[in-house]
Structure 1
Amino acid sequence: MFSDLSESPAIWQDKYRLPTNVKPSHYNITCWTDLESLQFGGFVAVDLDILEETSAIVLNSSADLKLGTASVYCSALNTDQLQSAQIVTDQELGRATLNFVAALPAGSKAQIKITYIAMLRGSMNGYYKSAWQRNGKTEHYAMTHFQPTDARAAIPCWDEPQLKATWTITMISRAETVNISNMPAESEVAYDPTSASESDGSLGTLLSTLPRKDVQWKITKFAKTPPMSSYLVAFANGPFAHLETKVVMPLSGRTIPLRVYTTPDIIHQAEFCLDVTAKVLPLYEKIFDIEYPLPKLDTLAAHDFDMGAMENWGLITGRTSAFLTDSKKVDITSRKSIAGTQSHEVAHMWFGNITTMAWWDNLYLNEGFATLMGEAIILSKVFPEWEVNSTFVADDVQNALMLDAKRSSHPIEVECPDANFINQIFDELSYSKAASVLRMLSEYIGEDRFLKGVSLYLKKHLYGNTVTRDLWDGISAASGEDIVRLVDDWITKIGFPLITVTETSGGIRVRQDRYLDNGTPNADENETIWNVPLAVLTVNENGHVHIDKTAVLAEREKTIALDTGRTFKLNAGTIGFYRVLYTPERLEKIATEAAKNDLIFSPRDRIGLLKDVSELSHAGLTPVSSLLTLVNIWQGETNYLVWAGVLVSFAGILRAFEEHPRLITSFRAFIRTLFVPLVQRLGYEFPDGESVDIVELRKTAITGAVTARDENVIRELQSRFTDYMETGDMARIPSDIRTTIFAVAARYGGREEFEVLLKIIENPVTPADRRAAIANIGYTEDLTLVKDLFSYILTEARDQDVVSFCRGLQANPLARPLLVEFFKDNYDAFSKRFATNSMLKYLVTACFKGLSTQRAHDDATEFFKDKDTTRYSMALSQALETVRARIAYIERSFNDLSDWLTKWEQSPKR
């Protein structure tokens, strides 16, 4: 558990952080990789500054590394002899201590050398193997993923972000393979075992011990890196092919080569990713006013990857689905995902890589900013037709608000004592809440001043490490505002406020209290007073809109003068990270006005209003009927993001009340009246040249009609999948409704459809086809097939896909209870399978978050009572809290929902 968190920072830093008596300045790594034996090995030479006299050096080294010999040399000892070092390992803390006889004096410089050997992991972190198929045969390649603390699994090193050093990497591999790393190759030569030209005795010794003497080897030496953190080091070896382009950078005028690597069979799908890289990289250089410091930027699309993607400096890595799509077919969904991912990772080349957080408690400095910059600010400039700012409100802001509404949430900036806890904070709070708060700040002070402050921050801390205050200092200097006063509580305190609006004779009274989605906060939970930018929208007598961005609620409550006889709304554009509660009468007035056009309330306003009402109904602060009334008023809505938000909110209702068939039947009838007319108007075809808005609206309408179980729409989608089964041609399965068609095929089909979806998973045309099949095959209502899928997950599924399979299964009411038992029965196997990566916490969420009865909640609590939950305790707490909130929601909302639907059914306007 997290008993260590009760200790003072000094105590856990002593326990989990490396001693500060030495500091690395340069690593010289030589690593051989054999893709036949799936082994690697090598030696590392590390130049050190000796800050305090010592006869012991402590560094990080994983238990996976079998350390060989170690030695130390220090010129201050007035001897040319190397000291042999005794190695003592600590597997629990991932450390190795080198003990030697003669102490190294303070102020001196030294070099240590360590040899090591290991097997390539199968765990998607450290230096690991990834499998692919060539001519029906399974082959492997090797690549690294070090974030946050797995550089030590491939290299004995100082594996903490603030201990930056330069790195020179040499790779030895089979001659027919390709080596890539952070920097470009300076040389690549065949290894001639008869040659005596090797001047480095360590390299010569290493070459003489290569696993196979009867194959050809080559030596690739890469250029020296700038100072960088260990978690950003990257290298890979395999049969890679690549696509390449070049871009001229605006500040330096340099021509930078850009490449995307993957296996030869799918490299043709890398064109769009390459195009996105070429568009965004120069934009970042211009906006940050700092030259991109490296001579190249590569991307590697991998078949096996723990997270979505990773910003290794000069060598971005990630899943094939994160980077690859068929350029001959316009797949808007995939293109949006790829562009957002790649733009996010390129943002890190500056924000995170040049300037890096000092420790993982400031992870959000990397991830929050890259999310805002990469997925909103920059992408809106490159793809203005995509409405990315509205998408940000619909996705990032709302996802973060939902998680942060729980007592089991955590502050954006949170103490991270050990590796297990570090892995847990890679979540919507470090990414999306941080990005939302930064966006709120940007909107308040102005984007130009915000970005100027970011540039000042980066320039002041080039190649250094930073904490939160450093960023605020930069933005304060650019804006003239006291940024610490404005933002500190949003970063350091848990939760966010609910703004309650009460109308008075001369205006409105606004009050802030911490928002919780299941219960009223007690006094201890409601101490924080946030500085809340209210962004008050008003409409004057001429119909002109005014937004007061200077209005800030910095106290518990205050009165604002305005004419309540005219239209008004708080949180204009949903720029703020909070929810707003109006009276039912005011809500209906705002909803009616919002239904007219975009002149007063933007899509971002409508998305924010919709989600506020939806979530407030879950929390019991407004009736669920308010949500249905609002949506009923908006039947003429044309923005796809608003309709997509409606579907997400309705999915929550369907999930909660799925054990009440009469109510669900009525509710689906209501949903049909909203979406089926849109399908009838827009049809099923996606002609070339159509606007993104129409493509997305058609996709959302079809998904909505299927959610409502419309027989005609389901029949049409079934016929399209049947054509594919008969012909093998996906011509009648448009990419943008592929996911919905696969879901229909799984739910209403049988074994034949199930087997076809499995074949798509095993041999897809594109990564998106595979991802859609994995996500939807679990909708089958044949429980025999569900059990077959469980067997497949255990024996055949790639590690990276297990969570996606389970998310699909938990969305299926018939499969959900079986999924819970499946997890319980195989808990030990999953714990072992995902022992070193982040998958287990996501698996716990996928299997338990969807439950909705007290008995299921209590059974889950009992199951985990004697388990070591160290690696997923936060995810488990959040999942169980979600279940409790759903149970309370069902109890308090059933009658209200039933009454509204009965009145709707009896309405003559229906």
Structure 2
Amino acid sequence: MGKVFYISRRTGIVVIVAAAAVIIIALTVVYAQKSRNEVKPVNDTEVWKNYRLPTSLAPVYYNVTLWPRLVMDANGMYIFTGHSGAAFTCVNETDLILIHSNKLNFTLTRGGHHAMLRGLSGAKAPAIKKTWLEVETQYLVVQLSEKLQVGSTYWLYTEFRGELADDLHGFYRSEYVEDGVKKVVATTQMEPTDARKAFPCFDEPAMKAVFHMTLIHPLDTVALANVIQRNIMFWPQHLKVLQTQFEPTEKMSTYLLAFVVSDFISIKTPAEAKVLIRIYARRKAIEAGQGEYALNITGRILDFFQNYYNSKYPLRKSDQIALPDFSAGAMENWGLITYREAALLYDPSMSSNGDKEAVSTVISHELAHMWFGNLVTMKWWNDLWLNEGFATYVSYLGVNDAQPTWNMKDLMVLEEVHKAFAVDALPYSHPLSSREEEVNTPTQINALFNSITYSKGAAVLRMLSGFLSEPVFVSGLSAYLKQFPYGNTVYSDLWGKLQEVISKTELWRLKLPASVTEIMNRWILQMGYPVVTIDTQTGRISQKHFLLDSESEPDRPSVYNYQWFVPIKWMKSGTAMGQHWLLEKTATHEPMRTNSEWVLANVNVSGFYRVNYDSQNWQRLISQLTSDHSVIPVINRAQIVDDVFNLARAKIINITVALSATRYLSEEREYMPWGSTIKNLDYFFQMFHRTEVYGAMEEYLRGKVQPLFNYFKTITADWTEIPSSHTDQYNQVNAISFGCRTGVEGCVNLTKTWYRQWMENPDKNPIHPNLKMPVYCNAIAAGGVEEWEFGWKMYKNSSSATEADKLMYALSCTKTPWLLKRYLDYAFDPDLIRKQDAPFVIVYIANNVVGQSLAWDFIREHVFEYGGSSPLFGRLILSVTNRFSTELELNQLQQFKKETAAAGFGSVLGLDQAIETTKANMKWVAENKEQVMRWLSEELA
């Protein structure tokens, strides 16, 4: 699945990067609450109190018929009706059938039961004694008069009714307006535990089965499912409906099931194509050509993965559909991938270079799952990282093959590795792979969809591929897929196949210090990562668990005592020196001893760790940056910046070392170092925006970004052209966004002029799609009501999802408080702001200095509507309060905690972490304010 909160890449707006990071970090917080939600053991007579299914029954196939009503009924509801049969085999003797069901209303039999049971292939079914619904554990419980026979197969039949709600989960509805007419789409999002909202099923990933789907739908709509249609029948004319029956699916998990009823149209590959690829979306989007890029790139990436995995795509078709309302970025349903519109549709006249990359990467991520996740699936959700981390890693390889000039393999460091570094340095992080018993409830499962799972998973697999070599890694993957097709695995199965490849060839030359299992288990079974310290005076190397708050303690112990097997690729004064393994807490590597040459470790950030050096080597590295930064690889220039600022926050080095690493930036023209710098400096902006440091910092940074601004002004012929390089296009955005933020002369006027030209001629937008985000934001910030109202009108009238996303952010940039308050109110009106977008609006406003207190008041006011235990509310708490750094703000948080507790909410998710973060921020400001001010004053003198 694409990340839960989808944000277009390359926004160029520092505050959006910060907001996104906070949301992502917040996702780990919910997991930290798991100890409060542990499932209590129950006795054997009450197995329905357990959240995990017993292993007594194994599904074989389902026959499911669903009829979604796309018009409101007499009670003002949208509903669906259906009937389902589940064929299952008895594996262990039992007189109890547990099958998942959530929010379904069943038609009772004459005997008053929720289901009927019969035997298949000559088996005799026992009578049903009693049936009931367990709401908490989400089961339909069927108690039998006698036990089922081991080895026999049975058929459980149910008829039911459910609400086609707009909650973005299970079988739900999405709405949009086209030509003034409201349209309703019936669609699905089953992952991780919502197939049970559509029909009764054994809703666990290891409970794979074959699905026979039938959909009943209006005459003017099309029905889609995972597989190709088998036949379409007309029902009696007065009902005005069709019945579409689909071919049986492959054996698959319930969370990968998908079906959609809509009036969408499509474009598709030619008839002679080996795999039918179709792109579905709203009629106007398809007619405007917004699906063409997705159609073009899908086939290329699909071909890449078939070659990469050495495995043929197992289905006859690959449908991709853009939905107006969708909770995640995308979902890898086998054969019918669902997307947010902004994640699939690309309009060259409206969409930016970053939008194009985002569409490419999301498509690649979902196609990677067709094998790794769909064909071979993790046994249980505790190994979710095996699906999502892997898909995240290879998605960059897929795009790199399709767009070789984009430099995607390097960009992965900035987009995924750095993101993982930020989250995994928190004391309440979690291991990639947890014990099964720690992940039981839907809340605990949902909490795992975070950037540890996705980004850290990708980072450690990238590291593994690096020290094994890509050919060895790919050979192991191919062997893994060939051994476990249509089955379920645990992470050790992958380690085993990789080890077999190594053992069967002459790959002893790899000189691994231990088995794949011994090396990698240290990276996936304990949270966090090390900071490797190199003393070039002695050659001594050491490792230590890196925590951003050096005084905190990790939430959990480690069986490996927070010690890793660390692959260290390094260079000396620009010369590559190969790879060294650090296996102990402390060791000596004599070649790293030097008195004059600089040493650089973790070349190209090939390993998942930070690096610290003795003070002399830091000075040598910084001197090299100042004299000729091109000697140091671009990725490592970005990494030096990321390391020094985070090491300083952890009090491992002095803050002035970090600031000194920015001196050379007036000569830097590459995107990655600037992207890393802007991300790290955002914390300084947040902490000092109400102090005298802010002005000095703004002046100093203006001097660093001014040459970059002038450089792009020159090479673009006074902003009339766009750079040809993918990353230069991103850095042009940085030059404008950071230039305006620091007061570069002419920057704001440039954005105001472009925006005014658009206001005067709304049908002809003069702003290049790459530059829209910083231009819209700065123009609205510098303007007033007229500029905001125009932006709102363009947002509501936009037919492009990516354009709407840009305007949705820009509207939060206004400095007028009452406009921000009105915008907050809009966030709670689904007719004005879609439910999927409301959290973004709140966070965007909170990251505006003027809007911070408004968003905070808004959150406190609406706590009772969200529910204090809601994961979403926990994320919002952290996002809205991330810049809190005063005694007053701490008191407000503590008072809010008392109020919610008094109201019966207990422990509100995210609130305790927000309090601790605020304390840490206050301490950081107190410890660093004078030092930073003194350093800036000296630099500006």
> Do the structures match in fold with TM over 0.5?
yes
Partner of residue 852 from structure 2, selected from 816, 823, 832: 816
Give the counterpart letter for 1:433 in structure 2: K
- Listed as ranges, the matches of 1:540-559 within 5 Å are 545-549=575-579, 551-559=580-588
Tell whether the 8 Å contact from 2:304 to 2:401 is kept in structure 1 after alignment: no
Q: Residue 69 of structure 2 corresponds to which residue in structure 1? A: 34
- Listed as ranges, the matches of 1:601-612 within 5 Å are 601-612=632-643
CA shift digits 1:473-503 (9 cap, x unpaired)? 1111223451111110110111111112223
- Listed as ranges, the matches of 1:86-485 within 5 Å are 86-192=130-236, 214-246=238-270, 255-267=274-286, 268-328=289-349, 331-374=352-395, 376-414=396-434, 415-480=438-503, 482-485=515-518
Tell whether the 8 Å contact from 1:408 to 1:881 is kept in structure 2 after alignment: no
Q: For 1:763 and 1:149, how far apart are their aligned partners in 2?
A: 36
Tell whether the 8 Å contact from 2:48 to 2:134 is kept in structure 1 after alignment: no
- Listed as ranges, the matches of 1:589-604 within 5 Å are 589-594=620-625, 600-604=631-635
Tell whether the 8 Å contact from 1:270 to 1:325 is kept in structure 2 after alignment: yes
Partner of residue 645 from structure 2, selected from 614, 625, 628: 614
Q: For 1:877 and 1:256, how far apart are their aligned partners in 2?
A: 51
User: Does structure 1 residue 673 correspond to structure 2 residue 703?
Assistant: yes
SS in 2 for 1:494: coil
Aligned-pair CA distance for 1:890: 1.1
**In percent, how many aligned pairs have the same letter?**
26
Aligned-pair CA distance for 1:791: 1.2
Partner of residue 885 from structure 1, selected from 920, 930, 934: 920
Give the counterpart letter for 2:543 in structure 1: Q
CA shift digits 1:703-727 (9 cap, x unpaired)? 1101203351101101111111121
Residues 362, 256 of structure 1: alpha-carbon distance in 2 compared, 3 angstrom cutoff: same
Q: For 1:616 and 1:825, how far apart are their aligned partners in 2?
A: 38
Q: Residue 797 of structure 2 corresponds to which residue in structure 1? A: 763
Aligned-pair CA distance for 1:8: 8.6
Q: Residue 117 of structure 2 corresponds to which residue in structure 1? A: 72
Tell whether the 8 Å contact from 1:617 to 1:627 is kept in structure 2 after alignment: yes
SS in 2 for 1:530: coil
Give the counterpart letter for 2:660 in structure 1: T
Q: Residue 88 of structure 2 corresponds to which residue in structure 1? A: 48
- Listed as ranges, the matches of 1:505-904 within 5 Å are 505=538, 508-520=539-551, 527-539=561-573, 545-549=575-579, 551-562=580-591, 563-564=593-594, 565-594=596-625, 600-660=631-691, 662-683=692-713, 685=719, 687=721, 690-795=724-829, 796-831=832-867, 839-864=872-897, 866=900, 875-876=910-911, 878-904=913-939
Tell whether the 8 Å contact from 1:421 to 1:871 is kept in structure 2 after alignment: no
Give the counterpart letter for 1:623 in structure 2: N
Give the counterpart letter for 1:73 in structure 2: R
Give the counterpart letter for 1:282 in structure 2: D
Aligned-pair CA distance for 1:665: 1.2
Q: For 1:760 and 1:793, how far apart are their aligned partners in 2?
A: 17
Q: For 1:110 and 1:14, how far apart are their aligned partners in 2?
A: 24
SS in 1 for 2:54: coil
| TM-score with structure 2 setting the length | 0.88
Give the counterpart letter for 2:83 in structure 1: F
Across the aligned residues of Structure 1 and Structure 2, the Cα RMSD in angstroms comes to 2.6
Give the counterpart letter for 1:472 in structure 2: W
Residues 10, 580 of structure 1: alpha-carbon distance in 2 compared, 3 angstrom cutoff: farther
Once structures 1 and 2 are overlaid, which stretch shifts more, 562-571 or 322-331?
Answer: 322-331
Residues 538, 78 of structure 1: alpha-carbon distance in 2 compared, 3 angstrom cutoff: closer
Q: For 2:368 and 2:856, how far apart are their aligned partners in 1?
A: 39
Aligned-pair CA distance for 1:272: 1.1
Q: For 2:461 and 2:627, how far apart are their aligned partners in 1?
A: 31
Q: For 2:544 and 2:210, how far apart are their aligned partners in 1?
A: 49
Q: For 1:6 and 1:35, how far apart are their aligned partners in 2?
A: 39
Q: For 1:261 and 1:114, how far apart are their aligned partners in 2?
A: 32
Tell whether the 8 Å contact from 2:400 to 2:407 is kept in structure 1 after alignment: yes
Tell whether the 8 Å contact from 2:781 to 2:814 is kept in structure 1 after alignment: yes
Tell whether the 8 Å contact from 1:175 to 1:216 is kept in structure 2 after alignment: yes
Residues 514, 87 of structure 1: alpha-carbon distance in 2 compared, 3 angstrom cutoff: same
Once structures 1 and 2 are overlaid, which stretch shifts more, 605-614 or 593-602?
Answer: 593-602
Residues 778, 297 of structure 1: alpha-carbon distance in 2 compared, 3 angstrom cutoff: same
Q: Residue 102 of structure 2 corresponds to which residue in structure 1? A: 62
Aligned-pair CA distance for 1:369: 0.2
Tell whether the 8 Å contact from 1:59 to 1:158 is kept in structure 2 after alignment: yes
Residues 328, 821 of structure 1: alpha-carbon distance in 2 compared, 3 angstrom cutoff: closer
Aligned-pair CA distance for 1:679: 2.1
Q: For 1:326 and 1:16, how far apart are their aligned partners in 2?
A: 45
Q: Residue 15 of structure 1 corresponds to which residue in structure 2? A: 50
Aligned-pair CA distance for 1:34: 1.5
Residues 615, 872 of structure 1: alpha-carbon distance in 2 compared, 3 angstrom cutoff: farther
Aligned-pair CA distance for 1:633: 2.1
Tell whether the 8 Å contact from 2:740 to 2:747 is kept in structure 1 after alignment: yes
| TM-score with structure 1 setting the length | 0.91
Unmatched 5+ stretches in structure 2: 1-32, 73-77, 110-114, 504-511
Tell whether the 8 Å contact from 1:276 to 1:339 is kept in structure 2 after alignment: yes
Q: Residue 25 of structure 2 corresponds to which residue in structure 1? A: none
Aligned-pair CA distance for 1:290: 1.2
Residues 731, 787 of structure 1: alpha-carbon distance in 2 compared, 3 angstrom cutoff: closer
Aligned-pair CA distance for 1:864: 4.0
Residues 7, 825 of structure 1: alpha-carbon distance in 2 compared, 3 angstrom cutoff: closer
Tell whether the 8 Å contact from 1:326 to 1:766 is kept in structure 2 after alignment: yes
Q: For 1:245 and 1:773, how far apart are their aligned partners in 2?
A: 33
Once structures 1 and 2 are overlaid, which stretch shifts more, 400-409 or 722-731?
Answer: 722-731
Once structures 1 and 2 are overlaid, which stretch shifts more, 464-473 or 587-596?
Answer: 587-596
CA shift digits 1:71-126 (9 cap, x unpaired)? 111147766x9956743001111111123435422221111110111120110011
Once structures 1 and 2 are overlaid, which stretch shifts more, 328-337 or 364-373?
Answer: 328-337
Aligned-pair CA distance for 1:328: 4.5
Q: For 1:852 and 1:861, how far apart are their aligned partners in 2?
A: 13
Tell whether the 8 Å contact from 1:436 to 1:577 is kept in structure 2 after alignment: yes
Residues 356, 75 of structure 1: alpha-carbon distance in 2 compared, 3 angstrom cutoff: closer
Once structures 1 and 2 are overlaid, which stretch shifts more, 18-27 or 51-60?
Answer: 51-60
For CA contacts below 8 A with separation 6 or more, give which structure has more relative contact order: 2
Give the counterpart letter for 1:257 in structure 2: L
Q: For 1:483 and 1:786, how far apart are their aligned partners in 2?
A: 53
Q: For 1:872 and 1:597, how far apart are their aligned partners in 2?
A: 53
Tell whether the 8 Å contact from 1:42 to 1:115 is kept in structure 2 after alignment: yes
CA shift digits 1:659-699 (9 cap, x unpaired)? 10x32111111121122222223226363682223322211
CA shift digits 1:46-67 (9 cap, x unpaired)? 1110123333311100024445
Aligned-pair CA distance for 1:598: 7.3
Q: Residue 7 of structure 2 corresponds to which residue in structure 1? A: none
Tell whether the 8 Å contact from 1:65 to 1:116 is kept in structure 2 after alignment: yes
Q: For 2:129 and 2:402, how far apart are their aligned partners in 1?
A: 55
Residues 602, 26 of structure 1: alpha-carbon distance in 2 compared, 3 angstrom cutoff: same
Aligned-pair CA distance for 1:14: 7.2
Give the counterpart letter for 2:754 in structure 1: R
